[in-house]
Amino acid sequence: MLPILGWGHADEPLWWLNGMYTWFLAALFCYYVIGLVTRRIHSGWVALASVVAWMALPLLGVAHDMVGPRPDKFVFYAVFFFAGAALRPVLARGPVPWIVTVPALAVAAAWALHAARIDVEPQVPVLTQVVVLLAVVGAVGVLQRLPRLRALRPVEWLGRNSIVPYLVHLPVIELLGRHIDLPAGPGTFALYYAVTIGVCVLAVLLRPVTGFLYAFPARKAAGAPAAAAGEVVSQAAEPVVDRAVDAMPAAGAAPVGEAAPACTRR
């Protein structure tokens, strides 16, 4: 990002922690390292630890700092990455039960209505993070029950490789905005959208030879344990909905609960 946004940012610590895009890259790197160091600990415990750390700061008299030199936001967002890694095998086993899906969506809807009423994002410790996770689980529960339309298979494919467009899209948009001088309008938007999606698709196609950019490389000599550890670290960096589409019924397939065609990740 330095060549795109300017080499002058290299010696600015706040840019690395709070830059438009660099803060996310720095956070992602930290999560990879934490996932590697704690590979023998269940990801759910790591997610819980991040919540405890986030709550502990105000209790210790330290106000949260989301824009200063402290990487507090890294602690806040860690729960989503590691909760995603913890929930991934659960969501991949089958559809989320309605008894979980409906209450999760109800809580998320109530939270959204409350936010709309007060016209500001509610800032309630822990509850803010829990509601976001409930909303994701509820949405996944609904999506898992939708028929798999052939026309949407490319979207599923991008979803199973979502870490790639997740990282690639913003640099592409920045380059387009800085080097293509076009008037604002639907045509310009369509061009930017098409180019960005095209580059993201190309990046996914190149993932077999660029996997080291998205997952910690496991040494072959280390055997299965190292490979499994690398996979866990990779899972921690991917959104919780990855692979959830694998549990969706295919168009015209048997109802939920019956056997459905398997779908591999890569």
pLDDT averaged over the chain? 78
CB 95 within 8 A of CB 141: yes
Is residue 258 helix, strand or coil? strand
Angle between helices 22-37 and 224-236 (to 10 degrees): 140
**Residue predicted with more confidence, 115 or 124:** 115
Q: What is the band of 108 on the pLDDT scale with cuts at 50, 70, 90?
A: very high
Q: Are 241 and 158 in contact (CB under 8 A)?
A: no
**What is the percentage of the chain residues whose pLDDT exceeds 90?**
23
Pick the most confident of 69-78, 84-93, 124-133, 191-200. Answer: 191-200
Helices and strands in the chain: count of H runs, count of E runs? 12, 0
The confidence score (pLDDT) of residue 149 equals 84
Who has greater pLDDT, 124 or 99? 99
Angstrom distance (rounded) from CA 34 to CA 240:
18
- For the chain, give every domain's residue range: 2-152+216-247
Q: How far apart are CA 229 and CA 215, in angstroms?
A: 10
Q: Region 154-174: what's the mean pLDDT?
A: 87
83-94 mean pLDDT? 88
Query: Is pLDDT at 98 greater than 90 in this prediction?
Result: yes
